[in-house]
Amino acid sequence: MNTPLRIPGRLGNYLILTKLNKGGMADVFLGQPLYAPMHWVAVKTLLPKLAQRSKFIAMFRSEGNLGMMFNHPNIVRTWDVGLDETGEQAIHYLAMDYVHGRDLGAVYRSFQRLGTPPPIAQALHVGAEVLGALAYAHTLCDAQGDPLHLVNRDVSPANIMVAFDGRVCLIDFGIAQATLDFRSQIGAIRGKLSYMSPEQVRGLPVDGRSDLFSLGVVLYQLLTGSEPFGGDGEFEQMERIRSAEPEDPQIINPALPESAAAFLTRALQKDPADRFATAPEMLAAVQKLQAEVGDPWDQPRMSAFMQERFAADVARLQGRVDRAREILLEEGGFDIPKELHDAPLDGPSLDSLEIVIDLDSMEVPDLRSGDRTLVITSREDEDLLETNPAATRAGAPILEQPEVVEPEPPPTPPVEPPVRTAPPAWALGLLVLLVVAMVGLGVALVIKVGF
């Protein structure tokens, strides 16, 4: 039975207030940790229709395990991989950093409504921040120091968040291809078509240069106001991506410096060998352009822009949160700490806490009392710290889930072979008479035709 998550309500150790987004694999909600009520998280839940299959559960958990390994200001981190079994249906969820802002797609559309592309310096600032995140991810190693060879595979405006405090963050490494135990599951998914690299469209192996191509598409769109590989349908668009021959960006935006046009041309080369080789190399090129263009953007300037441009959005979200709190108070069925009502939307995320992991206690602490310890709530196994390097990072509670086993199909009843019996004697006689009659009829027809 598919029992939807109650909103507002409780999910695991989190108070869920409102839905933020819906994707093809999961829903995303705004939540507050009950153990740290002044902080905010984005809680992603696996869609019920997918939670019945172990393949998707494994992919979902893999996304969480991978997210726990990140520790970079421009990449959203995962703090908790959980399973709530309090209702009629188990709900798999991830608790991640909440970025209070809008995605880059919304920022771009706001300029479209004005009929102008974003300022060149602003677009370059976004590119530089994303490249910092990619440089970190592409060179990330496991606990033994072996490279993970991560490839995001979905660098697109929808996965680049611009916070109201001016930060720029990549929010989704869920389909990253990695040489981890779950690489075959994650690598099977594809990114958004408009931002794929030629090799990705062809289904060929990809490396970090594929992400750089995708970011080049994003920057082309920001700097020109046009998609480089748009088409009337998917087939036409895929053919344009394979050929990788975008229109000269200076024709679309004559205000674009020649050096910026040359930068985009190199970023969007068909052959990966002709592009920027690494994220640091591409970042150096962006920084050179920033110095040439001038008018520098930084986090405070981006923050002022976001708060002015999206003031109405902030108010709407605050209204939804306030209404959710009113409902909880009216129902009175959930004892909510006062801090859960007072926490502002621009409050801190969990990374501001100084947290250590306690394997001896199974109780969720109350951080308001001064206890700054998070616990592993479903396993008392010290070996976890050796098998999962993310568990040793402060602030990353690991919730190991029980092994998911596909239900065995019901046994198929054996099929008895058909019993063959000899036909009765009268049936054989009848058959002989029919054969003789047919032969006689044939002979008569031959004689008649002959004469």
Predicted confidence pLDDT, tens digits, the chain (451 residues): 444 678 888 899 899 999 998 877 889 999 999 888 788 999 999 988 888 888 888 888 888 888 888 999 999 999 999 999 887 788 999 999 999 999 999 999 999 999 988 999 999 999 999 999 999 999 999 888 899 999 999 999 999 999 999 999 998 876 554 444 433 333 333 457 899 999 999 989 999 999 999 999 999 999 999 999 987 778 888 889 998 899 999 999 999 999 999 999 999 999 999 999 999 999 999 999 999 999 999 999 999 999 999 999 999 999 999 998 888 888 765 566 666 677 888 777 676 665 443 434 434 334 333 333 333 333 333 332 233 333 333 333 333 333 434 444 444 444 444 444 445 555 555 555 665 566 565 545 444 444 3
Kindly list the distances between the CA atom of residue 226 and the CA atoms of 107, 110, 193, 252, in Å, as whole numbers in the listed order: 14, 14, 15, 8
Residues of the chain with CATH 3.30.200.20: 9-98+310-392
Would you give the distance in Å from CA 239 to the centre of its chain? 25
Where are the domain boundaries for CATH 1.10.510.10 in the chain?
102-308
Provide the Cα torsion 68, 69, 71, 75; round to 10°.
-70
Q: Which one is the CATH code of 102-308: 1.10.10.60, 3.40.50.1110, 2.60.40.10, 1.10.510.10? A: 1.10.510.10
Peptide bond before 296: cis, by omega within 30 degrees of 0? Answer: no
User: How many Cα atoms within 13 Å fall on the side-chain side of residue 372?
Assistant: 10
Q: Which helix (H) or strand (E) covers residue 10, if one does?
A: strand 9-11
- Residue 164 contacts residue 346 (beta carbons within 8 Å): yes
- Contact predicate 65/390, CB 8 Å: yes
Q: Which residue(s) pair with 80 in the sheet? A: 95
Angle at 265 between CA 261 and CA 270, to 5 degrees: 170
* CA angle centred on 230, ends 227 and 234, rounded to 5°: 140
Provide the pLDDT for residue 74: 96
Homologous superfamily (CATH) for 9-98+310-392: Phosphorylase Kinase; domain 1 (3.30.200.20)
Indicate if 154 belongs to the active site. Answer: yes
Sort strands 356-358 and 373-375 into parallel, antiparallel or unpaired. parallel
Q: Supply the pLDDT for residue 351.
A: 66
Instruction: Report the alpha-carbon distance of residue 449 to residue 436 in Å, rounded.
Output: 20
Q: For residue 169, give Cα distances in angstroms to 64, 162, 414.
A: 17, 7, 58
Which residue in 80, 103, 154, 172 is the catalytic one? 154
Place of tokens 């720029």: 168
Cα–Cα dist 378/399, whole Å: 6
